A = this chain, B = another copy of it.
């Protein structure tokens, strides 16, 4: 995750940079508004941290300009001004959050995480080996190859991924997927295991569905040598 800090007080900027880097973010700093705007508009950042009071070009103007260019990277405004009017101005200029100096580092991190959660958090996916299952669309993918699963295939794949290397009996799968009242047989499970194996192979996945006689199924990752 790339973060850009636009802040004229070098000391503060650098200390925030270090704080965020320690948490694993990739952070750049610039020390004036004009340069900040140019960097921001590259569109490569996942978050802008923006000071309001800066010489030449203040934070509000940077935010406005950036938004005018249809760049909608989240903006965290960081400022000594705590007046109500300023907060409203900041939010209306396109900021997403307004934090008042002096701020607590824990709070800053919580804000940063909250803002970034929006960016990357919208797709949820279960991953095992080199293969992922998109939980919203039921699409199974491996590198750039993808394949769609039907509802039952999807349910079954989900349970297998959930259990990973832990074993699942046919009985369990039968009940979990077809329900108690169903009159599906264990053969239905076998057929669907077959479907999944075919689809996994089709996208070149390195995960296998292993079967153990009388005990059921579980996943394994193919080790290549």
Contact = CB atoms under 8 A, between A and B. Distances in A.
Interface of A: 70, 72, 74, 84, 87-88, 91-92, 94-97, 104, 106-107, 110-111, 113-115, 117-118, 121-124, 135-138, 148, 150-151, 154, 165-167, 210, 212-215, 218
Nearest to A97: B97
A135 B71 CA distance: 12
Contacts of A154: 215
Copies of this protein in the complex: 2
A92 to B, nearest CB: 6
B137 A165 contact: yes
Question: Which residue, of A84, A91, A118, A214, has the highest number of chain B Cβ atoms within 10 A?
Answer: A91
A174 to B, nearest CB: 18
Given A84-B104, A96-B118, A113 B91 contact: yes
A123 B88 contact: no
Given A113-B92, A166-B123, A215-B151, A107 B84 contact: yes
Contact of A114 (B91, B104, B167, B218): B91
A83 to B, nearest CB: 11
A200 B24 CA distance: 43
B212 A124 contact: no
Given A91-B114, A96-B115, 12 more contacts: A72-B122, A84-B104, A84-B106, A91-B111, A96-B114, A97-B97, A118-B118, A122-B166, A123-B165, A136-B218, A150-B213, A154-B215
B106 A88 contact: yes
B72 A137 contact: no
Contacts of A218: 136-137
Contacts of A165: 123, 136-137
A95 B114 contact: yes
